[in-house]
Structure 1
């Protein structure tokens, strides 16, 4: 397949076969993509991340010294351990109704497969404005891979004109999404027999002021500010996980929680945790238990003006008017924060992502290939 022309369906089948679960190695997939691109004469850079077993990939069709457009997708997928899968999730199945079933088909290897399949066509077009392909890792745990690639872009290409992030949107361009930050908080106490609470320090009790502060901040955020493009229209905070203790008759010496904020455009999601961080600092000064907070991940909101040239371009090549906003997040906000205009536009529906029997349809996949070819044609004039 490396040096051959392949259909989008064949390419998606190959990509799904690489079990690139988030947080694990993607080296085999990236080596396959790099070999495929190089076989078609595309200048390709594999960019190892600090983890040692994961890489980003950046490739250019055309002159990299000219400003161009980035087609951006992540190649990591969420785990596929649900019992509802009817077959191996990493062997793509084509249903007679046109569904292409497998982990990552919709989120978001379908977008990547469509791009790769039309690479020979794009190369033959010799676009005057270059087209870049940017593949990232670990998007599913807070967009951890793409910042390393974005920081390398000044050495790889001229400042890009825009980035098209292929998250599932039904090929409808999306102008905005919320930002997100996630925080891990641990409490360390002293264990002992529950009959002698005076000799121990209860870590769960030490965590209670943090939980109260989180609840209070969540209620405060419900009062605004508001942005009617989003649902809900305000920023939000929630505690997602909590753990601690061994048994009811043992003083718990450890407790931990994970919480996240979703911020409307114009608000730093990390800043929404300020009341919680203040409580942690105060409790450390006042009590015997020790509290520690660590950022899990963060990415900024996306906000592209409706009259921006990138929005107008996507309206033409996708055939759809832009949607004001979506509730989920993406790597688009990080490109925007780096000074690169960004927009979401990819095949499929986000409601199918992260579920057993995830699928993309053949017609959705082929429409994506047509959209990329339309972009190539416009940039070759």
Structure 2
């Protein structure tokens, strides 16, 4: 094992392999370099390694590694991509691992390349001959944008683990619920003209004002009718994220777009949200025929819920010393759950550092994470239950 890097060096090499995922083609990068890096490490530890290109992506790949034989077992999963960065807001090079104030700094240290560095150190301690059930390691593509890698992996149904842990940064608190996410663009088509003759045009902004009023009513209805106290924002949310329209003060606005996102509670289906949105706009669509439309901006991510009365949740709470919780952001958990396994989100680092300049992983998380991962493997791969 001497040829394999230690934790610090492996984290350094992962950070140095850029794998930005973005809807803007100027930022978007392939992830083959980091997938090949991981594949090489796990292959040298006698894992069976499988690499699959993700359809309809810009040169993106998933990696699945397997150690041991038999059915069930444990899946440790994470995404290989990061968000874009503004180098001017960083105090160090985002693609170079830096140590300061008892912290590792670098893009992906907690979200979430660091998780793979932990898994590598864990894997060095394992012997397949002593394993009763397999350990799987999954590295996905494009979690930060479309979640295409996790969607594709769920479609493939290559494995059927008993349990899965997704190592997003939760400060090692087991997460058993999160909201879903979808984003749409509502467009209003008006008729441009000179502002001195408003009766000869149709002002798209004026119609959009009415659209916003309808959506405000929908927001109120969601708040009044749906509530889950497990979340610190207990109701579904509808956010007005961006609006643009018109081109000059003395022209009637001929077109206006409003971008919104909606975050659903577990138990609310995407189809229901879409129907509520359509119902809210229906009166205006009748009043202004063929002028109002909406379209999905990005593929939606469903909400997630793992029943707390499960072997995985009970063990994770005991081993981590933390009570399970719910979070407002979305993860790959609902797709991994489609494999038929008990699923939680639990990993080192804080979500407060994710997507931020000077992202870091505290030294204090290192020993606790190593211990927790080893206990998970001992429980779900080394013994028969």
Question: Common fold, TM-score beyond 0.5?
Answer: yes
The alpha-carbon deviation at position 143 of structure 1 amounts to: 2.9
CA contact (8 A) 1:306 1:322 kept: no
| Partner SS state of residue 107, structure 1 | coil
Number of the residue aligned with 1:304: 306
| Other-structure match for 1:22 | 21
* Pair 1:47–1:251, CA change in 2 (3 A): farther
Where does the alignment leave 5 or more consecutive residues of structure 2 unmatched?
Answer: 23-27
Superposed CA deviations along residues 8-34 of structure 1, whole A, max 9, x for unmatched, are 221111111122222322122112222
Q: Which moved more, 1:71-80 or 1:117-126?
A: 117-126
Q: Deviations over 1:214-237 (max 9, x none)?
A: 211111111132211111222221
Query: Contact (CA 8 Å) 2:161, 2:339: kept in 1 or not?
Result: no
Q: CA shift at 1:125, angstroms?
A: 6.2
Q: What's the offset of the Cα at 1:307?
A: 2.2
Q: How does 1:39-188 map to 2 (within 5 A)?
A: 39-49=44-54, 50-63=56-69, 66-81=71-86, 83-95=88-100, 97-123=101-127, 126-153=130-157, 156-157=158-159, 159-188=160-189
Q: For residues 59 and 282 of structure 2, what CA distance do their matches in structure 1 show?
A: 36
- The answer on whether the counterparts of 1:315 and 1:321 sit within 8 Å (CA) in structure 2 is yes
Which string of whole-angstrom CA distances, capped at 9 and with x for unpartnered residues, describes residues 120-163 of structure 1?
A: 3234564211111111122223534311111112xx22x22121
2:266 corresponding residue in structure 1: 265
Give the deviation of 1:52 after TM superposition: 3.6
- Contact persistence 1:163–1:340 (CA under 8 A): yes
Contact 1:101/1:358, CA 8 A, preserved across alignment: yes
Partners of 2:74 and 2:134 within 8 A in 1:
yes
User: How far apart in 1 are the matches of 2:61 and 2:182?
Assistant: 23
Instruction: Determine the C-alpha separation between the residues in 1 that align with 2:220 and 2:194.
Output: 37
Distance 1:227 1:288 in 2: 38
Query: What is the deviation of 1:311?
Result: 0.8
After the TM superposition, which residues 322-333 of structure 1 pair with which residues of structure 2 at under 5 Å, given as runs?
Answer: 322-333=323-334
Partner SS, residue 321 of structure 1: coil
Does the aligned pair in 2 maintain the 1:8–1:369 contact within 8 Å? no
Alpha-carbon distance, 1:281 to partner: 5.1
The match for 2:317 is 315
**CA 1:94–1:62 in 2, change beyond 3 Å: closer, same or farther?**
same
Q: Secondary structure at the match of 2:322?
A: coil
Q: In the TM superposition, what is the alpha-carbon distance from 1:248 to its structure 2 partner?
A: 1.7
Contact 1:270 1:298 in 2 (8 A): no
- Report the counterpart of residue 351 of structure 2 in structure 1: 350
Aligned partners of 2:124, 2:310: CA distance in 1, in Å? 30
Q: 1:247 and 1:82, CA in 2 relative to 1: closer, same or farther beyond 3 A? A: farther
Name the CA distance, whole Å, in 2 between partners of 1:258 and 1:122. 49
CA distance in 2 between counterparts of 1:123 and 1:199 reads: 78
CA change 1:266–1:124 in 2 (3 A) is: same
CA RMSD of aligned residues (A): 2.4
CA drift of 1:302 comes to 2.2
Is contact 1:105–1:360 with CA below 8 Å preserved after alignment?
A: yes
Which residues of 2 match residues 27-38 of structure 1 at below 5 A?
27-38=32-43
Say whether the 8 Å CA contact 1:214–1:239 is kept in structure 2. Answer: no
The answer as to 2:194 corresponding to 1:189 is: no
Number of matched pairs: 374
**8 A Cα contact 1:181 1:270, kept in partner:** no
Shift of 1:376: 2.5
Q: Contact 2:68/2:128 (CA < 8 Å) preserved in 1?
A: no
Normalised to the residue count of structure 2, the TM-score between the two structures is 0.89
State how far apart, in whole Å, the 1-side matches of 2:359 and 2:250 are.
Answer: 44
Q: Is the 8 A contact 1:214 1:238 kept in 2?
A: no
Sort the Cα spacing of 1:190 and 1:92 in 2 relative to 1 into closer, same or farther, 3 A. Answer: farther
Secondary structure of 1:222 counterpart:
helix
Flag structure 1 segments of 5+ consecutive residues without an equivalent.
Answer: none
Equivalent-residue separation in structure 2 for 1:273 and 1:111 (angstroms): 35
